[in-house]
């Protein structure tokens, strides 16, 4: 008969701790202390830090977000970007999301859970917005949907989670417009990756190994 108020307090405490110190430094002890609760109360609910975080994060992600369906690719995209913007502006999410994504690179269970959450949640940008656009004939059926998702989400995620600089007014609509145009380009369909001004064979020699003695160059 676990007490619900304690469970809620723990959930909130976990999110705050995740934001403040990240998954790596998150400790059961701090969570319990923050929730004003004994450590046993935590272990009675989840067997480990990982289980605890996975459970809480999964549950949160399930909070359905409204999927846009305006009938036009451009409008769908603009609304989607606004949603993403809104979510990632949230204090907690802005800290927790990149942290968990980074942790996912180390911990397969986290990666899996996040993937599952994304998938269950949206079924997805790709499958819905793009799918509908294809059905409407706005996009070519041959489009590489993975690459399309990169184009749609990538720039905004980079700006919000990495650069973390303010968006100038009009940024989101402009990004929506540019992305829409790019997606419509026939370049997005794999068969003919022929660039406008072809660089015959530029690649390998131009790029030096770039790997220093012992470590890896840190650059993005």
Binding to DNA (CB under 7 A) within 28-87 occurs at 28-30, 33, 36-41, 43-45, 47-49
Residue 186 partner contact from a second copy, DNA, none using kind-dependent CB cut-offs of 5 to 8 Å: none
DSSP characters for 98-148? HHHHHHHTT-HHHHHHHHHHHHHHHS-IIIIIIHHHHHHTSS-TT--HHHH
Give the H or E element holding residue 165: none
Hey, how many other C-beta atoms are within 10 angstroms of the C-beta on 18? 23
Kindly tell me which residue out of 37, 68, 132, 133 binds a second copy, with binding defined by CB under 8 A: 68
Return d(Cα 118, Cα 68) in angstroms, integer: 16
Q: Given the rule CB under 7 A, which of 1-9, 70-78, 172-180, 199-207 is the region that contacts DNA? A: 1-9
The answer to whether 95 contacts a second copy (rule: CB under 8 A) is: yes
Kindly tell me which residue out of 61, 129, 130, 139 binds a second copy, with binding defined by CB under 8 A: 61
DSSP characters for 21-75? HHHHH--HHHHHHHHT--HHHHHHH-SSHHHHHHHHHHHHHHSPPPPP--SSHHH
Kindly tell me which residue out of 65, 109, 112, 123 binds a second copy, with binding defined by CB under 8 A: 65
The answer to whether 3 contacts DNA (rule: CB under 7 A) is: yes
Closest contact distance (angstroms) between CB of 68 and a second copy is 6
Site string for a second copy, 118-137 (x = CB under 8 A): x--xx---------------
């Amino acid at each position: 008969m676990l007490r619900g108020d304690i469970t809620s307090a723990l959930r909130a405490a976990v999110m705050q701790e995740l934001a403040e110190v990240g998954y790596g430094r998150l400790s059961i002890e701090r969570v319990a202390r923050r929730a004003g609760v004994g450590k046993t109360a935590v272990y009675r609910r989840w067997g480990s830090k990982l289980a605890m975080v996975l459970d809480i994060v999964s549950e949160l992600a399930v909070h359905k977000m409204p999927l846009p369906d305006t009938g036009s690719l451009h409008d769908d995209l603009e609304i989607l970007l606004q949603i993403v913007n809104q979510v990632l502006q949230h204090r907690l999410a802005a800290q927790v999301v990149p942290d968990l994504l980074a942790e996912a690179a180390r911990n397969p269970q986290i990666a899996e859970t996040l993937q599952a959450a994304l998938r269950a949640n949206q079924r997805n940008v790709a499958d819905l917005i793009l799918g509908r656009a294809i059905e409407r004939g706005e996009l070519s059926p041959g489009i590489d949907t993975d690459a399309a998702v990169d184009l749609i989400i990538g720039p905004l995620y980079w700006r919000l989670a990495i650069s973390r600089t303010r968006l100038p007014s009009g940024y989101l609509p402009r990004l929506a417009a540019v992305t829409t145009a790019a997606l419509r380009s026939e370049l997005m369909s794999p068969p003919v990756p022929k660039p406008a001004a072809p660089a015959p064979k530029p690649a390998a020699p131009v790029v030096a190994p770039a790997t220093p003695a012992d470590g890896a160059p840190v650059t993005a």
